[in-house]
Structure 1
């Protein structure tokens, strides 16, 4: 789920060993990555590509209280980057005439009036975000639900019990409810779960062998850094294992920086969608916006460059994956946050240097 957990006033948690360096970084990026971890994280790993040059870097530690380095090929929960995978799948179904982007959602959910599939994809539906109906750390109820299985219908109904935040198409309002609905619509349209469809249509063709849709499985397979959430006393609690049905189709997937780079390259390079649908994916839901159909973009002031991709927040893991339109420069990064500050504030300068430096 995209929204960052707000943890105000936490003191710096001095549990992190000195940064561990990987191979030499281009454009002096290692100090920047070290600063990201020093300010906002326990550990980080990054995949930076500039033409044929590749730098896989890391900083911090994989586990609090140890000197174990962050694995360069580590897996992590990608949060809302899942939405870009799901949006790609929905657009593939649109290309096959299995559904239309302007189909009313009431076709499958009669209680939802005036909302289209397109508005779910670009977050202009006005539907209440289920995230705000759920306990979050450091609320005690959050920890008690760690291994609870949530169904998509249960989460959707929690959201629909609240009034809309606006009229459909009126404004951009990020809502995880939109993608929970899209996951269910995929199954109603195709007869297969969105997870099976993503595996069949995207993961297998692209050979994304380190990427998975875990369902209710609480573990992260393969090498990975431990992830943490804040305790009520402002220390960190290991939250690596948890039931990802909490995120569902809005953010449950697991991947690596390498696989995310491969996916974004295939998507923006036209391997997964016909040109007219990729163009719509890059069209903002509202005038002047920075979010299209499951795809976001950033305009970097330093070098007057636009980069496309998405970012995700899966509680204990925060991730970013962006590329220039010509695919020449690409960055995929994961941070295990320490919740002392807003990680976006320290990540923005790093991404700016990675693309513009």
Structure 2
């Protein structure tokens, strides 16, 4: 991931790649794998837990591998039941394919979990959705017009601490997240307050509520809100409210934990040093630089359980779920509500989604509004600064969504 996450893995309704994906997305999928990898390492090896009768899904996974991704794990739940498969390799230089329910870094999918906890607190009356954030977190001197709702829908105007563009189109860097400097610094611990203060040291993007701009800092502030009003850590509240009740045993909110516990596919980062290309395994990293905007680890099965439960009305009252699904007008074609995107496919189907990414991992999470059909996936790859084949990633995601939600019908 660059500065945030793969916020929208497919093109929007007008066929453009969302700005958030271009700037802060995970689409840095390398054209080729690490030099010298044996041939078996790049061959697709699809497997299913429920049956081997979904060749269209196997072919869609293969497309990612053919485009340079090292591996894919995919899970769908639909009218035909559950299907899970994997393709490619779990680790460069080895032939073993990714586990079909291995763990991975989910990036900005974390935002949907975070938003759900905040909305549960709203449902309980502990937080006010339209209350000023400064009233809860006075230590930052926030603009008193910024509300809890604005954090969740990215309309606060707060600068993105992972880097953003100013009004003149000039890139303003934030915390380290790429290149050799990040690789060498990837186990550093950032405190959430440190990230917020970094963001607030930059000019606001716009006056609160007047525009829309994807900012990871909004969700760091949401984390601090959760901790302030509950008196418990973000990870404790996530466990108590979502992970434990839903039995999401493969999901963790690591905050500073560098290891990925359990079986997992590996992620890589490539950079140049002294004129030579170096590729480093970055599966282990301290994700505190992104905090609650993207630090969680999960599995395709757990993401299915979570998103199906959320869309099925098991985690939020109907009124707040409706708020979550209502896009802010200023989000335009991105159609962002409170912690998720609303996407109208050209075949007439509406899906809810939030994708995500951290260096070398891309995550997909889609559902129909009733939660009866879900698609969750992880793509692992070799990341790099130029995002080598960024154009192929949304195309492959679009094909996958086309197959599962549109029955193979063409999408614009």
- TM-score by structure 1 length? 0.94
Distance 1:176 1:48 in 2: 28
| CA-to-aligned-CA distance 1:254-297 (integer Å, 9 cap, x gap) | 10000000000110001010000000000112254511111112
| CA-to-aligned-CA distance 1:53-102 (integer Å, 9 cap, x gap) | 11101111000111011101100011111111110000000011111011
Spell out the pairing of 1:245-264 with structure 2 (5 A cutoff).
245-264=288-307
Aligned to 2:32: 12
Distance 1:6 1:80 in 2: 13
| CA-to-aligned-CA distance 1:12-64 (integer Å, 9 cap, x gap) | 33645211121325262211210112114110000012125111011110001
Aligned to 1:80: 108
Matched residues, number:
354
Q: Is the 8 A contact 1:47 1:332 kept in 2?
A: yes
Q: Is the 8 A contact 2:161 2:217 kept in 1?
A: yes
Distance of aligned partners of 1:272 and 1:5 in 2 relative to their CA distance in 1, 3 Å threshold: closer
Q: Is the 8 A contact 2:26 2:362 kept in 1?
A: no
Runs of 4+ more than 4 Å apart: 5-8
Distance 2:59 2:398 in 1: 14
> What secondary structure is seen at the aligned counterpart in 1 of 2:83?
strand
Coordinate RMSD, CA, aligned: 1.8
Q: Is the 8 A contact 2:26 2:360 kept in 1?
A: no
Q: Is the 8 A contact 1:47 1:257 kept in 2?
A: yes
Distance 1:155 1:334 in 2: 27
Distance of aligned partners of 1:11 and 1:30 in 2 relative to their CA distance in 1, 3 Å threshold: closer
> Structure 1: any 5+ residue segments left out of the alignment?
none
Distance of aligned partners of 1:273 and 1:249 in 2 relative to their CA distance in 1, 3 Å threshold: same
> Structure 2: any 5+ residue segments left out of the alignment?
6-23, 164-173, 408-412
Spell out the pairing of 1:55-74 with structure 2 (5 A cutoff).
55-74=83-102
| CA-to-aligned-CA distance 1:171-213 (integer Å, 9 cap, x gap) | 2200000000010011111111121101001100001111111
Distance 1:7 1:95 in 2: 39
Distance 1:7 1:251 in 2: 17
Q: Is the 8 A contact 2:324 2:338 kept in 1?
A: yes
**TM-aligned CA deviation for residue 234 of structure 1:** 4.8
| CA-to-aligned-CA distance 1:205-253 (integer Å, 9 cap, x gap) | 0011111111211100111011112222555321011112122111111
| 2:148 is the alignment partner of 1:148 | no
**TM-aligned CA deviation for residue 309 of structure 1:** 2.3
Q: Is the 8 A contact 2:71 2:381 kept in 1?
A: yes
